[in-house]
Amino acid sequence: MKLCRYGERGAERPGLIDAQGRLRDLSAHVADIAGPVLADLDRLRGIDPETLPLAPGNPRFGAAVGQVGKFICIGLNYSDHAAESGMAVPPEPVIFAKYTSAICGPDDPILIPRGSEKTDWEVELAVVIGKPGKYIDEAAALDHVAGYMVCNDVSERSFQIERAGQWSKGKSSDNFGPIGPWLVTRDEVPDPSNLRMWLDVNGRRMQDGSTATMVYKVPFLINYLSQFFTLHPGDVISTGTPPGVGLGQKPPQYLRAGDVVELGIEGLGRQRQVCIPDA
């Protein structure tokens, strides 16, 4: 299944993309694409999409998952990206939080923060938890996955690297977490470790990689994270980015108002964002 949320921001409705790529409304069956629904996807699998009403017009897609509890990110999880950043591959996964107020729809604008000089892009595979767990065995880790999404881990590098403290303040500005356009359920993604991913800025291909070059794969990450805290349905894990970010260009290249960012992952859809100044 491809599950989504659509409509005006703050008033999104649950939806489903049918086999013909049409958006259908799920409001008669569930209130939101969020934790309790993600923990019981069999309920939705029993619905014939042809019985669902088509969504009228061409509505906005919201963040594909609502009411996210934890937005967990993994840093330097591609060896070639670590190299372009001038950093070593870490001996354990680097974990940081992206605050949930950063979450937005896949085509909402990137807001360039006040004082930003180094707003950057990062196409990433996001994993959505569907079954709660703590101390999860790696062999059973994928049983805890509801599905996968595209994420742009938008980052302000000077806030992240040059202003002391942890990375989260460079990762969590408003609209720095576009997720979607939809959540593709686990049964439709047989191998999350072999998905092509790409990102363009103003029509120029900047990132062209694959999840095959991840250092720490999805099952390991779920096992690892669950050693420190319980994972709950609706939690999102963004798993790192391949090379080609602005920081790694020679010279570095960063986003400015008017720039257009387009990105996607094989089988998971695509996003498009226009950069505008944050008011």
Q: pLDDT of 231-279, one tens digit each?
A: 999 999 999 999 999 999 999 999 999 999 999 999 999 999 999 999 8
| Residue 94 neighbours by CB distance under 10 Å | 16
| In-domain check, residue 66 | yes
| In-domain check, residue 202 | yes
| In-domain check, residue 184 | yes
Can you read off the two tokens belonging to residue 14?
């649950």
pLDDT at 90: 86
What residue type is assigned to position 44 of the chain?
L
Under the banding of pLDDT at 50, 70 and 90, the label for residue 89 is: confident
pLDDT at 85: 72
CATH of residue 122's domain is 3.90.850.10
Among 61, 70, 67, residue whose Cα is nearest residue 13: 61
Which domain range does residue 208 map to? 62-277
| In-domain check, residue 24 | no
81 phi and psi angles, rounded to 5 deg: -70, -40
| In-domain check, residue 214 | yes
| In-domain check, residue 14 | no
Under the banding of pLDDT at 50, 70 and 90, the label for residue 88 is: confident
Separation of alpha carbons 174 and 279, rounded Å: 11
| In-domain check, residue 175 | yes
Separation of alpha carbons 233 and 144, rounded Å: 9
Among 149, 152, 131, 148, residue whose Cα is nearest residue 140: 131
Structural domain count, the chain: 1
Among 248, 24, 268, 16, residue whose Cα is nearest residue 151: 268
Q: What pLDDT, in 10s, does the model give residues 165-198? A: 788 999 999 999 999 999 999 999 999 999 999 9
Q: What pLDDT, in 10s, does the model give residues 95-121? A: 999 999 999 999 999 999 999 999 999
Strand pairing class (2-6; 13-17): antiparallel
Separation of alpha carbons 150 and 52, rounded Å: 25
Q: Which residue has the tokens 């720095």?
A: 176
Instruction: Determine contact, residues 229/246, Cβ cutoff 8 Å.
Output: no
Instruction: Determine contact, residues 152/122, Cβ cutoff 8 Å.
Output: yes
Instruction: Determine contact, residues 213/239, Cβ cutoff 8 Å.
Output: no
